[in-house]
Structure 1
Amino acid sequence: MARITYQDIPNGMFEHLRTIEDFITGSSLNQQLIEIIRLRTSQKNGCAYCVDMHHKELKHLGETDLRLSSLCVWEDTPYFTEEERAVLYFTDALTKLNRKPIPDTIYNELLSFYTKEEICYITLTISQSNTWNRLMKTFEFTPGNYKADE
């Protein structure tokens, strides 16, 4: 049972957050990469509702079971490209902040594969996912009911 229901949420709150989602989706980033970022962020934050949602979205986009089940241990697997690995290192670092700047090694690895504009979108995707995770951890929406668009 949700602590805070859709009816309790201030008018416009989700709509404004969805505007940012549309901005991210309209970027040059691949939708599958966006969803991998969202799922990884949700795993790091322990957000069951968001893990369920982004797992289903990735399945809908054709992601393999092997990569989905291995994302939580991505560093120890060969299933992710170097580009994805650079994003996953950055996702992990930006999701679990340690009061220090993001290391140059992590940022420079991103620059090997992505433009500064794309890094801005990647950063916003991670930040937005963290926002949603924190909302869902507070609201306690029930996981399992999300349906990816058919």
Structure 2
Amino acid sequence: MKLRMNHREANPAGFQSLLKLEESAKKMGLDPILYELIKIRASQINGCSFCVDMHTSDLRNMGETEQRLNLIVVWRDAPIFTEKERAVLALTEAVTLISEAGVPQDVYDEVRRHFSESEFVALIITINAINCWNRIAISTGMYPGCFDI
């Protein structure tokens, strides 16, 4: 594999603007585990190996089990995720694949059962941030370890 370009160096202002979005999302009060579940699930859907690797490592470092990490991709069939986590994963999928069906009312209703309006906005900002990172990583050819050289 070959990195097409280092987007950080090619456009530092663009990179900084995304970092600001990321920093803002992190400060919106979401549970760190939910935050990382969003990052991993969106990255799985988008096929971003760089981000899947980074965020599974982050969640592992927070004490997450290998079983839960392995089952994120099939969360609907794995009873080890809480109702709240399931709601977040469903919303992550809906927003990531928004052109397919929008955000169905039942997904919205389930998320709102667990989260306030402010928290809902924090969730969708977090989902949008990782989708942006995924698209940059994939477009520029990023892969796990590409900046370790």
TM-score range, shorter chain: over 0.9
The corresponding residue for 2:108 is: 107
Aligned pairs (5 A) from 1:31-110: 31-98=32-99, 100-110=101-111
Query: Is 1:5 the counterpart of 2:6 in the alignment?
Result: yes
CA distance in 2, matches of 1:132, 1:41: 10
The corresponding residue for 1:124 is: 125
- Alpha-carbon deviation of 1:28? 1.4
Q: CA RMSD in A?
A: 1.7
CA distance in 2, matches of 1:132, 1:7: 12
AA aligned opposite 1:62: G
Query: Is 1:139 the counterpart of 2:120 in the alignment?
Result: no
Quick check: which one's helix share is greater?
Answer: 2
CA distance in 1, matches of 2:63, 2:125: 24
The two structures have a TM-score, normalised by structure 1, of: 0.92
CA distance in 2, matches of 1:130, 1:51: 12
The corresponding residue for 1:19 is: 20
The two structures have a TM-score, normalised by structure 2, of: 0.92
CA distance in 1, matches of 2:40, 2:100: 23
Q: How many residues align?
A: 147
1:143 aligned counterpart, secondary structure: coil
- Alpha-carbon deviation of 1:11? 2.3
For structure 1, the 5+ residue unaligned runs are none
AA aligned opposite 2:115: Y
Q: Kindly tell me: are residues 97 and 39 of structure 1, through their superposed partners in 2, closer, same or farther at Cα, counting changes over 3 Å? A: same
CA distance in 2, matches of 1:11, 1:90: 31
For structure 2, the 5+ residue unaligned runs are none
CA distance in 1, matches of 2:130, 2:94: 14
- 2:43 touches 2:130 (CA, 8 Å); kept in 1? yes
- 2:7 touches 2:140 (CA, 8 Å); kept in 1? no
AA aligned opposite 2:90: Y
Which deviates the most, 136-145 or 125-134? 136-145
- Alpha-carbon deviation of 1:101? 3.4
